[in-house]
Structure formats: structure tokens, C-alpha cells
Structure 1
Amino acid sequence: MLFTPLIKQKKGASKSSLQPPFPDGSPVIGVFTGISVEVCAAEDIRKVYENGFFGKGSKSRGAPKLVTKGTIDDTESLSLELEESAFLAYFVGVLCIHDIQCNEMQYREFLEAARNVNPNFLECFGSYLYLKSKGWIIKSGIKFGGNFLIYKKGPRFNHASFIIFVHPKSDTKDFSIKDLKGLQRIAETSDKDVLLLDVMKPNDLTYNTLSDIAALKISETIVRRFNSTSFVQSQKITK
């Protein structure tokens, strides 16, 4: 049986609508707060969010008010997750990350700070790049207990197809049958599939340069409830 991801279009969304995958032009300024990177200038917020759906409004669950309502709220910023911040800054080159003293943070410095927030940041960042290389739009998965949610076109057009769980192989705790059943229940109740990414990191990885992250090895496991009706229908179509 071939696996096809579930892609549900949102009501009112145009099938032909496409968003530019990345912002371009001169870099925008983002400030690392110790938890996230905040972009504050109105034109920068629109540029970053509308070209790839990066970040979320600091006062909303999704798009900032500047995008949804067209109104400028000086107290709202665009909050970028650490993984997407590193991607935009050091791979795409459209974000300049500053610390709270307004000093620019270099790649190694930011990775060290991010690992203080999340000890498994390197594995999560590698997983983010892995998913981006496959063309997915990636958002935070914290509201479903995961690392990421991934979309075919973006949250404006589709519901998320997968909840992503990143599992560093250096972690001594493996997924048990009980854990997998719990993930399956999440998939059922949220009408999404679960994708486990096992990440193996070499012991001697130094991550001094951008290319070092290519040493990570990532494998996929899909946790999906078997739907007998869909299976029977797919068999009839292929015959």
C-alpha cells in the first residue's frame, strides 16, 4: 500500500494560490530574547510572514494583525522560533539576529545560545532543514505536543498534514508501545498523521560551520491509523 499524505484544503482558500517560499532583499533585524527572535518593524513583519509564513504574531495564535487585519499594532511583534530564525539568518541570509545589547550574533554564538534553551536544538534544527529540503511549510507543533507541524502550502491554505516529533538517538529513552499508542491517539483526534524523525548525531560533531550539520543522519517513521474504508476504496481505484 502506497502512503499518501493527508492534505485538507481550508474553506475559501484558492487552489491556485502560491506564496513565495522565502523572503528576499536586504536583511531584516530580529532580536534574540532568550526564548525566540522578535521582528518589530511593520514592513519587516509583513515581508517575513507573507513570504513563507515564518513566525507568528506575538499577540495571536497565528498571523500577526498587520497581515490579517491590515492594522499596525506597535506593541505586536513577529515571534520566530529558534529553528526558523537560524534558517533565515544563516542559510537564506535575510535575517540579522541581534542580542539585547544590539550586537549581531554569529552562527556559532547563536547555536550556543539556542542549545541553552533547548539541549536538543542541533537535532531539531537538522530536522527543520531536512523538512524544508522537501518543500514543507513548517510551524511550531507545541499545541499538539510535538516539535513541528508541516503544511503543503501553508496555514492560510491547508490544515497541517503531519505532527512532527524529533527523537535524538543519543536520548537513552526510546519510544515504547505506550508512547506510540499515545501518538496514534493524537493523530486520530487531530485528524493528522504523526511523523517521527530519528536523528543520529556523530559524537565528534563540532558544528563550527554551516556544513557540519550535514553529518546528522535522519530517518522517518510514520504513525498512522489504518482506515479500512480508505484502503478498500484505494484498491478499487488501482484495479
Structure 2
Amino acid sequence: MNKSFKNKKVLTPLPVNIYNGNRLLRSLYKFYYSIFKSQPQITGTFLEFGRFVWIHDQSSITKLHQSGSFGKGDLSRSDPTWLERNIQQNKASLEEITVERRRKRRGKDQVDNQNLMKPDQVLTSTNYSNVESFQLDLCEAFFLVYALNSLIIKSTNQKSLLSIDDCWSLFCKADNSFHVNYVVYHFYRSLGWVPKNGSKFGVDFVLYQSGPAFKHAEFAVAVLPLCQDKIEERKSWLWLLRLNRICSQVKKTLILCYVNVPHDIDRLNDYSIRQVIYKRWSPQKNRE
């Protein structure tokens, strides 16, 4: 499997060593890497049913989140702060504000409040243990394995370690659009942006300049694959207008990211990317 990001016209290369060439050079590279490069210290488990990689070591969680805003807690919006929030009984947390707003919108305040457990009751029922898990999505996990060599991934049954090729094959099998999304993810990561899942806003990614903890995402990215061997379903103008309206309401600039997909989806150096920024024009606001 030939994977490389050497096409400088398409993808800005990262400062990492990526081998490519014949078997002899590949073997020499692996030998050099095994001796002179330190092995990754972070280990995760691939959970196929949920399409994510589970990180279960607390020190690794802190390192991943602070070193690039990788991953999220499954009971939090970003940072895995579930236990800390319940101990401090922080009623003004972002998660509780969101839940309270949804309750009021549905008009179910009284019924919900009766069924909800208080923070001290939750802690007692869990014996003050942290029940929150930390997850990496497939793009984040493969980037850490392939591009940065900072993560080791075990199989679902934890009986074997997955190689780069294993991860690529399993991730593509778990998600048909993984290969396209990863090319886009790597592209924006290499430019210094922090891409995060954007399904909440109807897009594929949202881009943070520094990370979710510092500032809201400035851009929303819709990935549009252009495959050479099949005709993709075209998006309608109505879809585009709706999507742009949503992005405008949440103060994000919409980027249409067109990805030319080669016949062999394993050859990452054959992909190409074209970006189009789409903005809503208003005659009242855009006068010269």
C-alpha cells in the first residue's frame, strides 16, 4: 500500500518522515525507525461498533488533549470534565446550560426535573469514580498513528496491535467516506488548523484556530468528493442555501472542499483538493 503526502501542490507536508519506494528502501527505513525513533507511549483500542478509538489511560488523555486538542469526553462537549463538574457541582457548565435550554424549549421542565439525579447522587451511585470515556474519531486516530507516530492501536479484542495498513483497511471498512475525510483532515492539520466533527452544524468539519478551549470555530467545511470511476450525487442549490443559512446563523464561514478521488483510494498522494469559500451576499450589509 503506497501512502504518501509528497504532492506539495495539494497537501502541505508535515515535518514527519514518510517512507516511499521499493522494498529495500522501505526495509531500511523500518530498521532505522525501530532503532533511532522512540516508540509511541499512548495506546488505544479500536471499537468497530462505535467507529472510534478508546483511550483509557488518564495521563494519555491529558497529553492528547493539551498537545493538539485531540479527542473528546463522551459525557462532555470537549474536555473530559464530567467528574470535575459533578464534584464542584458546577451548575453553569456548558453541558448543563445546553440541557436546560432544551428542556425549556420542549416544555418538560417539571417532568425532567423529577427524574434527574443531583450531582451528589450521581457521584454516590458511581462510587466517585470517573465513568467518562475518552474517544478519538477515526481521522484523529489515524493522523496520530500515521503522521505523528504517537499512538498504538489495539484490535477490538485487544489481542493484536494494528499496523498502519491495518488501521487504514479497518477504518475504510467501518466508514465508507473515511479515506476522503482523512485527506481533508490531514490537509487542514498540516496548515495549523484544528479540525473537529461538524455534524452538529450539518457539515463534515469545523476549523478552530487554536482549539475548542480558546475560541469558537471560524470555518465550517463541507467535503464534496469527486470520484473518477462513478458519478456522485450532485448537491442542490436548496441544500447549499440551507447549509449557508445555518453557517451564517452560527457565525461561521462555509468552505466547500472538493476532493478529487483517484481510482486507487490507497494512494493518498494522488488526491487533490480545491476549496471554495461561499458567503451569503446581502445588499444592505455589503454596500460599497
Task: Return the TM-score normalized by structure 2.
Answer: 0.65
Letter in 2 for 1:112: S
Alignment counterpart, residue 198 of structure 2, candidates 129, 141, 150: 141
Question: In 2, distance between residues paired with 1:206 and 1:139?
Answer: 23
Contact 2:201 2:247 in 1 (8 A): no
Cα shift at 1:77:
2.0
Cα shift at 1:56:
0.5
Alignment counterpart, residue 91 of structure 1, candidates 147, 166, 169: 147
Please state whether the residue corresponding to 1:126 is helix, strand or coil. helix
Contact 2:76 2:82 in 1 (8 A): no
Please state whether the residue corresponding to 2:214 is helix, strand or coil. coil
Cα shift at 1:74:
3.5
Which residue in 2 is equivalent to 1:129?
186
Cα shift at 1:229:
6.5
**Cα RMSD between the aligned structures?**
2.4
Is the radius of gyration larger for structure 1 or structure 2? 2
Are residues 160 and 70 of structure 1, via their aligned partners in 2, closer, same or farther at CA, if it must alter by over 3 Å? same
Which residue in 2 is equivalent to 1:224?
279
Cα shift at 1:174:
1.7
Which residue in 1 is equivalent to 2:212?
155
Cα shift at 1:158:
0.9
Alignment counterpart, residue 164 of structure 2, candidates 103, 107, 111: 107
Contact 1:137 1:154 in 2 (8 A): yes
Which residue in 2 is equivalent to 1:44?
60
Give structure 2 stretches of 5+ with no counterpart. Answer: 1-37, 88-127
Alignment counterpart, residue 177 of structure 1, candidates 237, 246, 259: 237
Give structure 1 stretches of 5+ with no counterpart. Answer: 1-23
Question: 1:13-56: per-residue Cα shift (whole Å, max 9, x none)?
Answer: xxxxxxxxxxx984301110011001011101000011111110
Q: Which moved more, 1:189-198 or 1:47-56?
A: 189-198
Task: Return the TM-score normalized by structure 1.
Answer: 0.78
Question: In 2, distance between residues paired with 1:200 and 1:60?
Answer: 35
Please state whether the residue corresponding to 2:140 is helix, strand or coil. helix
Cα shift at 1:101:
2.2
Contact 2:202 2:243 in 1 (8 A): no
Letter in 2 for 1:149: V
Identical counterparts, % of pairs: 27
Question: In 2, distance between residues paired with 1:68 and 1:134?
Answer: 33
Cα shift at 1:124:
0.5
Which residue in 2 is equivalent to 1:15?
none
Contact 1:184 1:224 in 2 (8 A): yes
Please state whether the residue corresponding to 2:281 is helix, strand or coil. coil
Please state whether the residue corresponding to 1:52 is helix, strand or coil. coil
Which residue in 1 is equivalent to 2:254?
194
Structure number with greater CO (CA < 8 Å, separation at least 6) is: 2
Are residues 1:64 and 2:121 paired?
Answer: no
Cα shift at 1:91:
0.8
Which residue in 2 is equivalent to 1:20?
none
Q: Which moved more, 1:73-82 or 1:47-56?
A: 73-82
Q: Tell me the matched-pair count.
A: 205
Question: 1:96-147: per-residue Cα shift (whole Å, max 9, x none)?
Answer: 1111222111112112211222211111000001111211011111111211
Alignment counterpart, residue 268 of structure 2, candidates 200, 213, 217: 213
Please state whether the residue corresponding to 1:181 is helix, strand or coil. helix
